[in-house]
């Protein structure tokens, strides 16, 4: 490497790549993109690789200084990386479903109802009421519910399935799901404990 070639790279590489990091940070600030510490490390690595790629492809005959050429290339590289990251998020979001979404089977239950759990609010309420342990707390819980929610609770305790409850109460799957969600909300069940 000649002294002239070395003079081009030296400002970017000295003082622990201080100038390279400064240029990178100034480009980050223009994006208004929140970056975590690991993201900064990733982008500094991209900046370092871009520095060497630009150096190898730079032609002084084009009439642009190395610094301007490097900054333009680095900005394009960062934009490409951000677009790639957002594209990955969009691809992942295509496969995401809400837990409150109604499933397509004949039961028409929300996905949240299929997630196994060791704790069942209604089973605990029934068990506590049978032993007399939670009688006051259960009454307080029930007093917080609407008439529809109380009807759903009674039918669940009698062993009816969600589809049967919706048919008996003449409500849609979304109305049933909303009621169950409210009944299971922390605001309502906290009185049981």
Q: Residue 141's pLDDT is what?
A: 79
**What would the pLDDT profile of 6-23 be if each residue is shown by its tens digit?**
777 788 778 878 888 888
**What would the pLDDT profile of 107-134 be if each residue is shown by its tens digit?**
566 666 666 666 665 666 566 555 556 6
* pLDDT average, residue stretch 133-159: 82
Q: Which residue, chain included where needed, has tokens 């307080």?
A: 140
Q: Residue 59's pLDDT is what?
A: 81
Cβ contact 192:135 at 8 Å: no
* 3 state SS for 38-102: HHHHHHHHHHHHHHHHHHHHCCHHHCCCHHHHHHHHHHHHHHHHHHHHHHHHHHHHHCCCCCCCE
Neighbouring CB atoms inside 10 A of 181's CB total 13
Instruction: Please report, in angstroms and rounded to a whole number, the separation of the first and last CA atoms in the chain.
Output: 74
Closest CA to 183 of 125, 134, 107: 125
* pLDDT average, residue stretch 94-113: 60
Q: Residue 45's pLDDT is what?
A: 86
């Amino acid at each position: 490497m000649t002294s002239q070639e070395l003079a081009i790279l030296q400002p970017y590489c000295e003082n622990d790549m201080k100038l390279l990091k400064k240029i990178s940070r100034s480009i980050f600030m223009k994006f208004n993109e929140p970056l975590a510490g690991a993201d900064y490390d990733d982008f500094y690595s991209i900046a370092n690789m871009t520095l060497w790629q630009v150096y190898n492809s730079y032609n002084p005959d084009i009439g642009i200084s190395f610094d301007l050429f490097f900054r333009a290339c680095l900005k394009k590289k960062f934009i490409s990386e951000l677009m790639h990251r957002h594209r990955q998020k969009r691809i992942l979001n295509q496969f995401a479903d809400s837990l409150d979404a109604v499933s397509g089977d004949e039961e028409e239950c929300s996905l949240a109802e299929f997630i196994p759990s060791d704790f069942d609010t209604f089973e605990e309420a029934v068990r506590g009421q049978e032993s007399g342990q939670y009688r006051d707390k259960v009454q307080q819980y029930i007093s917080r519910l609407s008439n529809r929610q109380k009807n759903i609770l009674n039918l669940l305790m009698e062993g009816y399935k969600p589809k049967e409850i919706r048919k008996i109460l003449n409500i849609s799957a979304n109305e049933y799901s909303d009621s169950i969600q409210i009944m299971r909300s922390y605001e309502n069940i906290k009185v049981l404990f």
